[in-house]
Homo-oligomer: A and B are copies of this chain.
Amino acid sequence: MTYEEQYARYRQMTEETLDALLSDGAFARIPSKLLQSMRYSALAGGKRIRPVLLLATTEMLSGPLDEARVPAAALEMIHTYSLIHDDLPGMDDDDYRRGRLTNHKVFGVGPAILAGDALLNGAYECLIGNALRYPAHLPRHVQAIAAIAGRAGVGGMIAGQSIDLESEGKEPELATLRYIHEHKTADLLTAPLEAAAAISGADDGKREALRRFGYAVGVAFQIDDDILDIVGDAAQMGKATGMDAARGKMTWPALAGLEQAKAESAALWREAEEMLSVFGDKAGFLRDFADHMTKRKN
């Protein structure tokens, strides 16, 4: 199977699981308008990077792929809730996301707040329900949930969002931007690797390698986003470029220079690939993933 075929397979598994979970009666009776708004944002396409990483890493570690489906989808629910809330007035106040109107532009601000809350709480409902389905593996699943909750939480993604919001209008600093990239982006990309390691019962050495892979991929991914906002092609990006500068948002190239940003990204991708050596040939997919990411145009 080629890398593209394997990616498509993991993505398809994610879509199917999300579609099944976000149905009335799947894990709860959900009022129809609320469900509609949850589905609008959660089933809006996207690369599904986080669930793909969770599924691929579980398979690489010879872990139970079936048991990883719900955690993969739940992680995407958490990612989706963070986008809905980030787009709200009072936060980034965005009208478009992935080329479509944002949740609050379609359903209203109140319902969008609730849709985000519903996806966040729903992710834990699904995670806990899934853990209880595998009593023999319960401790592993609870550890995976702990990793996801920690990375999504007040010391992780929410910390990044909070400092991002606080730093608006202040003198930009590279240390602050690094903190934001580490937490707002890298933490939720590290979560699937740690969760897969927990579900698969990986040893400490492998866990640490995966954690460092996730960190490097996450920060590099966000620096690349900053670079693409400057040098990217609006048509390929699916959104306007140069937006960060126009809004006065901190970016790595703006604070460190474009060449230094490219060098930092390249070094991180190199470190990510080095972290995979402990997995030998089994890391083919993650290696290809890193290769493709370094060449991405959107």
Contact = CB atoms under 8 A, between A and B. Distances in A.
Interface of A: 27-31, 33-35, 38, 81, 85, 88-91, 104, 108-114, 116-118, 120-122, 124-125, 128-129, 131-132, 135, 138-139, 142-143, 145-146, 149-150, 152-156, 158-159, 161-163, 165-166
B90 A159 contact: no
Given A33-B162, A162-B33, A128 B145 contact: yes
A158 B89 CA distance: 21
B166 A117 contact: no
A145 B88 CA distance: 29
A149 B35 CA distance: 17
Contacts of A159: 28-31, 34
Nearest to A166: B33
Q: Main SS of chain A's interface residues?
A: helix
Contact of A29 (B27, B138, B155): B155
30 contacts: A28-B150, A28-B153, A28-B154, A30-B159, A31-B159, A34-B154, A35-B154, A85-B113, A88-B109, A90-B104, A90-B108, A90-B109, A90-B112, A90-B113, A110-B165, A114-B165, A116-B117, A117-B158, A118-B153, A118-B154, A118-B162, A120-B121, A122-B153, A124-B145, A124-B149, A125-B150, A125-B154, A128-B142, A131-B142, A138-B142
Contacts of A111: 162, 165
Nearest to A141: B142
